[in-house]
């Protein structure tokens, strides 16, 4: 049992406060409740998250590291405003990371891992997209790609991909307006099947197609009226 300091708050509980603030604020950013350019005052964020200002400061620093928040000297923290240049640069980095992950996993994927990913892919490829399922689909897509990265055993790749996908979610929610049903069906199962064949070159090629399929609509719709 953790020792209890004089103020009655355990070290374990204190450490969870920044994480709680981070989860609440990041969720509101990705859900669109906190719009790009919105100022995130420390006092207001403390009220929203139900924690003190100190954990909020730590959470905002982490969100800045994740590219979801920007810090402006003398002004404070603001929700990141994606630009087309930032989107393209992020996708170039995402392409490099995800394709390397696909190559590595292609030669190491176990039957158990394929089954685990297959369950997620089935949900992603068969659940109708609607306002009611948007959050679920976003979380499942994030889970699919981060779990794929975890199979490499490379912590640097995993952390890089986690950050890239958070920014991707922000950009996708803001700028992709095409019908969900216009997207290729069974994308994730097709991707998994190719990776499971064990050919790094083919896995790389399929992952590249998958990434570009999500980038093109964002670029095409950039600057159009919402």
Residue 43 is predicted with a pLDDT of: 93
| pLDDT range class, residue 172, cuts 50, 70, 90 | low
Mean pLDDT computed over 6-15: 41
Question: What 3 state SS string does the chain have?
Answer: CCCCCCCCCCHHHHHHHHHHHHHHHHHHHHCCCCCCCCECCHHHHHHHHCCCHHHHHHHHHHHHHCCCEEEECCCEEEECCCCHHHHHHHHHHHHHHHHHHHHHHHCCCCHHHHHHHHHHHHHHHHCCCCCCCHHHHHHHHHHHHHHHHHCCCCHHHHHHHHHHHHHHHHHHHHHCCCCHHHCCCCHHHHHHHHHHCCCHHHHHHHHHHHHHHHHHHHHHHCCCCC
Query: Is residue 83 pLDDT above 50, yes or no?
Result: yes
pLDDT band of residue 8 (cuts 50, 70, 90) is: very low
For the stretch 35-52, pLDDT in tens is 889 999 999 999 999 999
Instruction: For residue range 62-79, list pLDDT tens digits in order.
Output: 999 988 999 988 889 999
Q: What percent of the chain has pLDDT over 90?
A: 49
pLDDT higher than 80, residue 217: no
């Amino acid at each position: 049992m953790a020792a209890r300091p004089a103020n009655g708050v355990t070290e374990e509980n204190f450490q969870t406060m920044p994480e709680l603030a981070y989860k609440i604020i990041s969720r509101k950013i990705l859900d669109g409740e906190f719009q790009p350019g919105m100022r995130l005052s420390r006092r207001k964020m403390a009220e929203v998250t139900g924690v003190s200002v100190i954990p909020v400061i730590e959470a905002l620093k982490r969100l800045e590291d994740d590219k979801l928040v920007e810090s402006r000297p003398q002004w404070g923290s603001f929700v990141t405003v994606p630009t087309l240049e930032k989107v393209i640069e992020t996708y170039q980095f995402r392409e490099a990371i995800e394709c390397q992950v696909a190559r590595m996993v292609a030669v190491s994927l176990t039957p158990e891992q394929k089954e685990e990913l297959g369950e997620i892919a089935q949900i992603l490829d068969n659940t109708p997209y609607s306002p009611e399922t948007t959050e679920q689909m976003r979380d499942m897509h994030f889970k699919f790609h981060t779990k794929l990265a975890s199979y490499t055993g490379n912590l640097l790749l995993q952390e890089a991909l986690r950050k890239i996908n958070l920014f991707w979610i922000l950009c996708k929610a803001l700028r992709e307006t095409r019908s969900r049903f216009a997207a290729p069906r069974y994308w994730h199962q097709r991707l998994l099947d190719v990776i499971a064949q064990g050919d790094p070159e083919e896995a790389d090629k399929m992952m590249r197609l998958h990434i570009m399929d999500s980038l093109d609509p964002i670029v095409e719709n950039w600057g159009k009226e919402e």
